Amino acid sequence: MRFDELKVIDPILKALDDKKYEEATPIQEKAIPLILERNDVLGVAQTGTGKTAAFSIPIIQLIQKIDGKNQGKPKLRSLIVTPTRELAIQIDESIRDYSKYTNLKHTVIYGGVKQMKQVKRLQSGVHILVATPGRLLDLIGQGIFNLNDIKLFVLDEADRMLDMGFINDIRRLLKLLPTKRQSLFFSATMPSNIVELSRTILKDPKKVEVTPVSSTAETIQQYIYYCNRIDKRDLLLYLLNEKIDDQVLLFSRTKHGADKIVRFLKKENIKAAAIHGNKSQNQRQNALKDFKSGKIKLLVATDIAARGIDIDKLQYVINFSIPNIPETYVHRIGRSGRAGNDGVAISISEAEDNIYVKDIQKLIKNKAKVVKEHPFPQTDKPMTAKEKKEFNKEKQKRKMEAIAARRKSRSGGGGRGSSKSKAKSVGNRRR
Ligand code: AMP
């Protein structure tokens, strides 16, 4: 369906035309009319479905109707809360694009950077605010602004919000919002705690659902390579040299693992950068910028940092470790083949992860093809429960040793060099 058939107003149609959006995506087709008719909406949709535009377009349209002709300082009419900084920035950029032919003002606030610029922009007045929960509550607590004029509230990525431990922040926030408001609630999954949360926010909502989380896009080809733990990096190099001719978003289970992969790739003269929660906002933005401009070949990300990264026409996703929650696999590979483009998702499974592959295959109904022809076949067997217990015990012991060595070196005992080399040798043994 075309956007003009959804009764989208001309200034927004013109902006969508500039973005070369020809047809509304299914979530847009369903959600836009419901939101324009002032319903609360419960949206079950993941990133990649066009959900940002599904709520941003009608929000801009409704506020333009209320305030478009007002000359005075803008009132804060809409609040969009989302879990990560990257996602917040991207939603704000979408709002900038879709509202460029209106006179609405918008801004974005998130933590990890100084607040001054954000405060100035807020004080000059905006109609639409995109925010992460911590900075939002912080600035409200400082009395910099309030939510008294909010007419439209959006809680985006609610499931991830709870995963990240934001439940108390959300409860605090709900107390600050006017009770008379329109609310939109988006989540990729709907476990019972999310359903419960949605009930505290929405009134008589209309439900819109697209692409249940168990379904992976038909346009994504999925492959699984089984190998031994020790060969994973070599297999990665083989894939990068022999099988992949484009940029890659690579997922690592841990932040530490992400950094290790980047160091390894750099040694192999492959340009890569990591994006995760221990990186500063600037480092993350630069990594994303370098990836988007093609300066680096690989962006290595953890799940939380990657959530919401929007990269046009990303073809390849690699799971360097298999996620232990099958739904995470669906989220990860959804980063490729976006908005109808073809994608390729490659997963590397070491013996210990084989069990997670089974769960994933069950969820996605065996749509991933196992590649048997490659130079690093899996010969390891998964550990028995007893071996695993021993392994974890030993791992924990080494971790404690490394922490103790680091503490000792900081307090001056043992000298920097000695403890550093000790920590390194522990790290090596662990691999
Ligand atoms: P989202 O699910 O909001 O993260 O959007 C995924 C991607 O689809 C973004 O790059 C959008 O710019 C793009 N997109 C959203 N709606 C449309 C549309 N109607 N036609 C083409 N691309 C779209």
- Atom number in ligand 1 closest to CA 24: 19
Q: Domain holding 92: CATH number? A: 3.40.50.300
∠ CA 306-312-316, rounded to 5°: 65
On whether residue 124 sits in a domain, the answer given is yes
Q: Do 167 and 224 share a domain, yes or no?
A: no
Read off the DSSP letter of residue 225: E
What local confidence, expressed as pLDDT, does residue 363 receive?
83
Chain CA centroid to CA 17, Å: 27
Considering only CA atoms, which of 175, 119, 126, 125 is closest in space to residue 142?
119
Indicate the SS3 state at residue 44.
strand
Q: Which CB contacts under 8 angstroms, 24+ apart, belong to 423-426?
A: 426/398, 426/401, 426/402
Q: Do 396 and 268 share a domain, yes or no?
A: no
Convert 117-144 to b/e letters by CB count within 10 Å (16 or more is b): ebeebbeeebbbbbbbbebbbebbeeee
Which residue's C-alpha comes closest to atom 16 of ligand 1? 50
Q: Do 274 and 399 share a domain, yes or no?
A: no
Q: Do 228 and 131 share a domain, yes or no?
A: no
Read off the DSSP letter of residue 243: I
Contact between 320 and 232 under an 8 Å Cβ cutoff? The reply is yes
Model confidence band, residue 338 (pLDDT cutoffs 50, 70, 90): low
Q: Which domain holds residue 91?
A: 3-209
Q: Which of 148, 183, 209 is the last residue of a domain?
A: 209
For residues 414 and 268, the model is more confident at: 268
Model confidence band, residue 219 (pLDDT cutoffs 50, 70, 90): confident
Model confidence band, residue 339 (pLDDT cutoffs 50, 70, 90): low
What pLDDT, in 10s, does the model give residues 86-119?
Answer: 899 999 999 999 999 999 999 999 998 999 999 9
Does the CB atom of residue 61 touch ligand 1 within 6 A? no
**What is the distance in A from the centroid of ligand 1 to the CA of 339?**
6
| HSE toward the beta carbon, residue 80, CA cutoff 13 A | 31
On whether residue 361 sits in a domain, the answer given is yes
DSSP readout, 145-183?
A: ---TT--EEEE-SHHHHHHTT-HHHHHHHHHHS-SS-EE
On whether residue 321 sits in a domain, the answer given is yes
Which residue's C-alpha comes closest to atom 18 of ligand 1? 21
Q: Do 304 and 396 share a domain, yes or no?
A: no
What local confidence, expressed as pLDDT, does residue 418 receive?
40
**What percent of the chain lies above the pLDDT cut of 70?**
91
Contact between 213 and 336 under an 8 Å Cβ cutoff? The reply is no
Q: Do 404 and 317 share a domain, yes or no?
A: no
On whether residue 215 sits in a domain, the answer given is no
**What is the distance in A from the centroid of ligand 1 to the CA of 341?**
11
On whether residue 377 sits in a domain, the answer given is no
Q: Which of 21-25, 103-107, 174-178 has the least mean pLDDT?
A: 21-25
Q: Do 404 and 297 share a domain, yes or no?
A: no
Does the CB atom of residue 364 touch ligand 1 within 6 A? no
Model confidence band, residue 211 (pLDDT cutoffs 50, 70, 90): low
Does the CB atom of residue 338 touch ligand 1 within 6 A? yes
Q: Please say whether the dihedral angle defined by the alpha carbons of residues 419, 422, 424 and 427, taken in this order, is positive or negative.
A: negative
Q: Do 346 and 247 share a domain, yes or no?
A: yes
Q: Which of 209, 235, 259 is the last residue of a domain?
A: 209
Does the CB atom of residue 47 touch ligand 1 within 6 A? yes
Q: Which of 209, 236, 261 is the last residue of a domain?
A: 209
Q: What is the mean pLDDT of the chain?
A: 88
Does the CB atom of residue 327 touch ligand 1 within 6 A? no
Does residue 429 carry a pLDDT above 60?
Answer: no
Mean pLDDT, residues 301-311: 73
**What is the distance in A from the centroid of ligand 1 to the CA of 3?**
13
Q: Do 187 and 292 share a domain, yes or no?
A: no
Does residue 53 carry a pLDDT above 50?
Answer: yes
**What is the distance in A from the centroid of ligand 1 to the CA of 295?**
24
Q: Which of 167-181, 224-238, 252-266, 271-285 has the least mean pLDDT?
A: 271-285
Does residue 305 carry a pLDDT above 80?
Answer: no
Q: Do 406 and 299 share a domain, yes or no?
A: no
Mean pLDDT, residues 204-229: 84
Measured CA to CA, the distance from residue 98 to residue 86 in angstroms comes to 18
Q: Do 54 and 187 share a domain, yes or no?
A: yes
On whether residue 141 sits in a domain, the answer given is yes
Does the CB atom of residue 86 touch ligand 1 within 6 A? no
Which residue's C-alpha comes closest to atom 20 of ligand 1? 21
What pLDDT, in 10s, does the model give residues 124-156?
Answer: 999 999 999 999 999 999 999 999 999 999 999
On whether residue 380 sits in a domain, the answer given is no
Q: Do 73 and 200 share a domain, yes or no?
A: yes
Q: How many domains does the chain have?
A: 3
On whether residue 214 sits in a domain, the answer given is no
